[in-house]
Amino acid sequence: MHIDIAWQDVDTVLLDMDGTLLDLAFDNHFWQKLVPQTVSERRNIPLDEAHQLISREYQAVQHTLNWYCLDYWSERLGLDICAMTTAAGANAVLREDTVPFLDALKACGKRRILLTNAHPHNLAVKLEHTGLAQHLDLLLSTHTFGYPKEDQRLWQGVAEHTGLEPARTLFIDDSEPILDSAAKFGIRYCLGVTNPDSGQEDKIYHRHPALNDYRHLLQKLMFKES
């Protein structure tokens, strides 16, 4: 799907974090390997059984705020997920195209707002190890609003909190259901990321344009604003 952004009509750029600004490899390894392995060891059950148990738990709360809540998972799995996140934090890394894109947005006078479903502790750990905050104007965790990005009430709250105009906003995320939610609210431009995890094959988006490198946007962005 062709990407055609009228940059002169965009004031605000909302950006997801994991898989969008940071390499999703960190989270995939944490939740799909480290957590099941730890559950297997703590409960003295086979790794396959641990994977099945956790898969059922994940599916039960997918697209709800609990899915992203470290406190919820600590209670459900009997693990100190916050401590595990802190211990693994050094493995969180920025995508190669993140800083060039964010710096270009700043140079063009665009407001750069992080909008993540990540738990505040998860967010803090990743900011500490990546330096991402210095390239953004505002950082928002949906946990402070009480709803995930899949919920229309979150978008209403964010619009009221930031004063953004949906018709003059670009939103980038690596989840198509979340892009659908943003589009439903009226966000004019919704853009997917095809390569959120550097170690996996590219994703395919069916309802939104998508790209694998933000640097492809820079020429038009800088030209439109020059």
Question: Which amino acids are annotated catalytic?
Answer: 9
Nearest of 182, 179, 170 to residue 221 by alpha carbon: 170
Give the DSSP H/E element, type plus range, for residue 215.
none
DSSP 30: I
Nearest of 172, 166, 18, 161 to residue 95 by alpha carbon: 18
Non-local (6+) Cβ contacts of 55 within 8 A are none
Whether 21 contacts 114, CB under 8 Å: yes
